[in-house]
Amino acid sequence: MKFRLATKEDKNQLKKLDSISANTDIFNGEKSFILNKKGLIDFYLNKKGLLVIEDKGQIIGYVLSQQINWMHGIKDLVWIEHICIHPNYRNKGIGKKLLKYVKKYYKGKAQFLYGEIHPLNKISQALFKSCKSEFVDRILVFIKL
């Protein structure tokens, strides 16, 4: 298996993986296609924060991440927006290996990895617990502008 930074040439494979791996939204029961959001792939490609894992030339997982200068009073952290693993590769330690690669990729550039997990998303919670993450309860507030 190979870990690397995604390129523009990966867009079709990433979208295909997203359509296979889409999760059912906890709130509305609809499929959630992360990479269908207009401009999201290009945003993370430009940020150099779209990291992939491939097996035999096929992308089997990805992480959307970006370095942020300040958040919650902490300097230099990496925001993990989304992790995706192909269903055939789940429960095999691939997510943990991908997070390990993210840590290696950002080592020396940031102090912390930061993400938010919905309280009902037990799979993501288990993944981050296996990586010795510190869990902090937060209430998110969104105000439409």
**Taking the domain 2-130, which CATH number applies?**
3.40.630.30
Smallest Cα–Cα separation from 65: which of 48, 46, 80? 80
Per-residue pLDDT of the chain (145 residues; tens, 9 = 90+): 999 999 999 999 998 898 887 765 555 566 666 777 788 999 999 999 999 999 999 999 999 999 988 877 888 888 888 888 898 998 898 988 998 899 899 999 988 887 776 666 777 767 777 767 665 666 655 666 7
pLDDT computed for residue 63 by the predictor = 93
Tell me the pTM: 0.82
Domain ranges of the chain: 2-130
